[in-house]
Amino acid sequence: MPRHLHPRDFAHDAPAVAHALIGATMLVDGVGGIIVETEAYDRTEPASHCHPGPTPRNKVMFGPPGHAYVYRSYGMHWCLNFVCRENGHGAGVLIRAIEPTHGLDRMRERRGLQDERLLCAGPGRLGQALGITLEHYGLRLDKPPFEVWAAPASITPVQVLTGPRIGISKAVDLPWRFGLAGSRFLSRRFG
């Protein structure tokens, strides 16, 4: 049986957490699936919302770890991040894509489409399918409506791909995008 993740599980650097989340399961009000794609962000690099320091928009990213950071992208998509590192640092992991496994009917209704491969392939699609809103900002990831479990131990370890992050213009050389090898639910192929 997989174990629930707790705030201490997020108190590591963002790339390590982003890598470890591949294969984990995340539900929001019982809707969700297996995390297949993530991106790491840290205040030390200019693509991060934390780079300029704490603001009213990003203050939750400065800790404590194990909370949700939600922001609006392009004025229309809610995106979900998991806060990482020690209190005061400023780091997080963007959840880019999941393989839907729970609540597919609710996801299809929210997204207005049937193709399960496209329900949560990208952070905006994922936010819409899971019903993410600003009301989720700052909530603990180990309390309802969130449930996050570590990837189950198996004979075959999860194979994780790495590459550059998507849709940014700064710090593009950092290989801080992580994905589940062979997944057909990624937002974009690697390499």
What confidence score (pLDDT) does residue 157 get?
Answer: 74
Q: Which amino acid is at 19?
A: H
Phi, psi (deg, nearest 5) at residue 2: -65, 150
Tell me the CA distances in angstroms from 74 to 71, 78, 123, 124, 165, one per residue in order.
10, 9, 12, 10, 17
What confidence score (pLDDT) does residue 152 get?
Answer: 78
CB count, 10 Å around CB of 164?
14
Q: pLDDT in tens for each of the 191 residues of the chain? A: 578 999 999 999 999 999 999 999 999 999 999 999 999 999 999 888 999 889 999 999 999 999 999 999 877 889 999 999 999 999 999 999 999 999 999 999 999 999 999 999 999 999 999 999 999 999 999 999 999 999 877 656 789 999 999 988 888 889 999 999 999 999 999 97
Question: Over the Cα atoms of the chain, what is R_g?
Answer: 15
pTM of the model: 0.95
Count of residues making up the chain: 191
Q: Are 125 and 119 in contact (CB under 8 A)?
A: yes
